[in-house]
Amino acid sequence: MPYLSRITAHFNQRFAHWGIQLPPADLAQRRRGQLSQSGWCIWYLFDADEQGDYLDYYAHHPVSGDEHRRLRANGGRECLPALQWPDPDRDDPAETPCESRAWQAENRRIAALLTAKGFGIPAGAPGVPVRTRGRPLHPSP
């Protein structure tokens, strides 16, 4: 498990403010899981590719927003596509570029990517937020 120490350190440091850590049993078994704590819903999985072992996670918070990251055992970190939401404080939401068809298509593409990874977030599941910043968690097709 020493090869996972960098992954663990990066993840735990990112969510330290909220006291969120990867469960040791999931680390030991490289098991996928979900955490719901302090307003965060976080889905994660372990895998490997030609660059080595990694942890992918998708984190949703109704205030902080969404983030999708890959943390590598070699210490590398990558930003992956995350769903984007319009700013609810904008004076005229109809004028925001987030309301465009291109924005909606991109969010549908990202939602499909998340579903393919097993991060499909079912609306209405216990402990899972169904709305973010005034928008459904999964954009409609």
Strands (E), 23-83: 33-37, 40-49, 52-61, 65-72, 77-80
The answer to the question of residue 139 being in a domain is no
4-26 as b/e: b if 16+ CB within 10 A: bebbbebbeebbeeeebebeeeb
Residue 58, in any domain of the structure: yes
Is 108 within 8 Å of 101 (Cβ atoms)?
no
Confidence label for 129 from pLDDT (cuts 50, 70 and 90):
very low
The per-residue pLDDT of the chain, averaged, comes to 79
Q: Which residues, in sequence order, are CB contacts of 137 under 8 Å at separation 6+?
A: 60, 83, 121, 123, 128, 129, 130, 131
**Where in the sequence is the domain holding 6, given as residue range(s)?**
2-134
Q: Examine residue 140 and state whether it is found in any structural domain, yes or no.
A: no
User: What confidence score (pLDDT) does residue 36 get?
Assistant: 92
Query: In this predicted structure, which of 42-51, 64-73, 79-88 has the lowest mean pLDDT?
Result: 79-88
Overall domain count for the chain: 1
User: According to the model, what pLDDT value does residue 95 have?
Assistant: 57
At residue 139 the predicted structure's pLDDT band, cuts being 50, 70 and 90, is very low
Predicted confidence at residue 121, as pLDDT, reads 59
Each residue's pLDDT tens digit, 3-36: 689 999 999 999 999 999 999 999 999 999 999 9
